[in-house]
Amino acid sequence: MSTYERDALAMDAYSNAVTAAAERVGPAVVRIDIERDMAPRYGRYAPPPGGGIGSGFIFSSDGQILTNAHVVEKAKRISVTLADGRKFPAGLVGSDPEVDVAVLRIGADHLPVAELGRQPLRVGQLVIAVGNPYGLNWTVTAGVVSALGRTLDVPGSKKMINLIQTDTSINPGNSGGPLVDSAGRVVGITTAMLPMAQGLGFSVPLDTMKAVLARLTQKRNAVPAGVSLGVGGMRVSLDESLRRSLGLKQQLGMEILEIRPGSAAVQAELKRQDIIIAADGEAVTEPRDLQRVVRSHSIGEKVIITFLRGGKQRKVTVVL
């Protein structure tokens, strides 16, 4: 076999590895569009005033998404576009700016997920980044792990530690997207580039992601002090045709994205993706409206929740 033939086979193997990894993780990669009142404080990340674009990936089929904290910082509204073209408003479940990791949730189930890696990374290992650089959706770039445990200290920005350094091309809009190995398993979240350097990209490692997920899960499952319905959600627009058919005047409601185990909401059989429109006859257009009504009650009292499910208006009495 000639040198040319050996090189061609090696290139084919490399191409096949990149293609297979991208095809495996691609369906779980999302585009994140942000509306802001002001730009975030991270100097190296500042997007155009009023908005920004980033990436993320679905890690749980019930609509949970990992991304960078700086992508969604100070977001007034968050919109997620799936690989199949569907768009959803998203709620912020939690964020840890110190390590630049955030979790979002959308009102959808049975979604494709990105598998999290299990093996430690090695310097020289092939890695692939998938994201939306400059708004160019679902772009794939490949490279190798250049170093591990890097510290990134950019003027005007927070110091970040224990990062993965790669020579994978990372550009604005890539932030929050997955960095995967040759098997398509997530090994990091692409987080930063050095504007004046070429071939230098950085990613948050898998162990840091898992630690953030553990902290957020513990916080979400903690029983709050005082009276609580036990739900979390976000403001959503009500479908116009549904409003007309039900004779509803209000244009907004609160979609349930989280339900705490053992809460009053569980006992009342409320479900994720239910849209609450009233509590005790008062309109609910966002989470603060619901909180205000619920907190006017004492533990053991009842509150009547009006909500939408399956195109129908329903009511349930909840014992707090």
Residue 315, strand partner residues: 306
- The pTM for the full model equals 0.80
Q: Each residue of 52-103: pLDDT tens digit?
A: 899 999 999 999 999 999 899 889 899 999 999 999 999 999 999 989 999 9
Where do the CATH 2.30.42.10 domains begin and end in the chain?
A: 231-319
Contact of 189 with 204, CB cutoff 8 Å: yes
- How much is the pLDDT for 198? 65
Cα–Cα distance, 65 to 58 (Å, whole number): 4
Calpha distance 317→271 (Å, rounded): 14
Residue 186: CB atoms within 10 Å? 24
Q: Is the dihedral of CA 99, 105, 106, 108 positive or negative?
A: positive
The proportion of the chain whose per-residue pLDDT surpasses 70, expressed as a percent, equals 88
Name the class of domain 126-212.
mainly beta
DSSP 8-state assignment for residue 87: E
pLDDT bucket at 44, cuts 50 / 70 / 90:
very low
The C-alpha atoms of residue 125 and residue 105 are separated, in whole angstroms, by 32
247 compared with 1, residue with greater pLDDT: 247
C-alpha closest to that of 250 among 209, 307, 210? 307
CATH superfamily of 3-106: Trypsin-like serine proteases (2.40.10.10)
pLDDT tens column, 191-241: 876 665 566 889 999 999 989 988 888 777 776 777 889 998 888 889 889
Give the residue, 300 or 135, on which the prediction is more confident. 300
**Span 136-173, pLDDT tens digits:** 778 899 999 999 999 887 655 667 889 999 998 887 78
Report the C-alpha dihedral over residues 175, 87, 307, 228, rounded to 10 degrees.
Answer: 0
**Domain(s) of CATH 2.40.10.10: residues in the chain:** 3-106, 126-212
Known catalytic residues?
70, 100, 175
CA nearest neighbour of 279 among 236, 310, 287:
287
Among candidates 179, 142, 165, which has minimal Cα distance to 68?
A: 179
C-alpha 119, offset from chain centre: 23
Q: How many residues does the chain have?
A: 320
Domain 231-319 CATH class label = mainly beta
Q: Which of 161, 162, 163, 167 is closest to 126 using CA atoms?
A: 167
Max Cα-Cα span within the chain? 82
